[in-house]
Amino acid sequence: MTSDPIAPIQEKETKAGNYFVSNYPPFSFWTPDAVPSFEEALRRPSAAENPLGIYVHIPFCRKRCHFCYFRVYTGAKSQEIRTYVDAAKKELALYEGLPFLGDRKPSFVYFGGGTPSFLSREQLKDLTDGIQSRLAWDEAAEITFECEPGTLNETKLRFIRDLGVTRLSLGVENFNAHILEINGRAHRTDEIHRAYSFAREIGFPQINIDLIAGMLDETDENWLDSVEQAIALSPDSITVYQMEIPFNTTIYKQMQDAGKITAPVADWETKRRWVTYAFEQFEQAGYDVGSAYTAVKKGQNVDFVYRDALWRGADLLSLGVASFGHINGVHYQNQHDMDGYLSELEKGRLPVYRAMVPNEEETLIREFVLQFKLGSIDPNYFFKKFGINVSEKFEIPLQRMREQGYLKQGEAPLRLTRPGLLEIDRLLHSFFLPQHRNVRYA
> Alpha-carbon distance 394 to 365, whole Å?
10
pLDDT at 3 > cutoff 50: no
> Alpha-carbon distance 348 to 4, whole Å?
49
- What would the mean pLDDT of 12-27 be, rounded to a whole number? 90
- What would the mean pLDDT of 244-271 be, rounded to a whole number? 89
pLDDT at 218 > cutoff 70: yes
Q: What is the pLDDT of residue 1?
A: 47
Give the angle 65-213-325 at the CA atoms, nearest 5°: 60
Where do the domains of the chain lie, and which CATH numbers do they carry?
1-25+359-442 (1.10.10.920), 30-308 (3.80.30.20)
- Least reliable range by pLDDT among 215-229, 230-244, 280-294, 408-422: 408-422
Q: What is the pLDDT of residue 126?
A: 98
Local structure of 168: helix, strand or coil = strand
| % of the chain with per-residue pLDDT over 90 | 85
Tell me the residue type at 107: S
Q: What is the pLDDT of residue 2?
A: 47
- Least reliable range by pLDDT among 60-74, 195-209, 344-358: 60-74
Q: What is the pLDDT of residues 356-406, one digit of tens each?
A: 999 999 999 999 999 999 999 999 999 999 999 999 999 999 999 999 999
Verify cis geometry, omega within 30 degrees of 0, for the bond prior to 286. Answer: no
More confident residue, 333 or 9: 333
**Structural contact between residues 133 and 75, judged by C-beta atoms closer than 8 angstroms:** no
Average pLDDT value over all residues in the chain: 94
Q: What is the pLDDT of residue 7?
A: 57
pTM score, two decimals?
Answer: 0.95
Q: What is the pLDDT of residue 5?
A: 58
pLDDT at 276 > cutoff 60: yes
Q: What is the pLDDT of residue 432?
A: 97
Nearest to 328 by CA among 313, 344, 306, 340: 313
User: How does residue 409 score in pLDDT terms, banded at 50, 70 and 90?
Assistant: confident
Verify cis geometry, omega within 30 degrees of 0, for the bond prior to 235. Answer: no
Phi/psi for 440 (5° steps) reads: -65, 130
- Least reliable range by pLDDT among 7-21, 115-129, 343-357: 7-21
Q: What is the pLDDT of residue 6?
A: 52
C-alpha to C-alpha distances, 327 to 45, 234, 333, 350, nearest whole angstrom: 10, 37, 11, 14
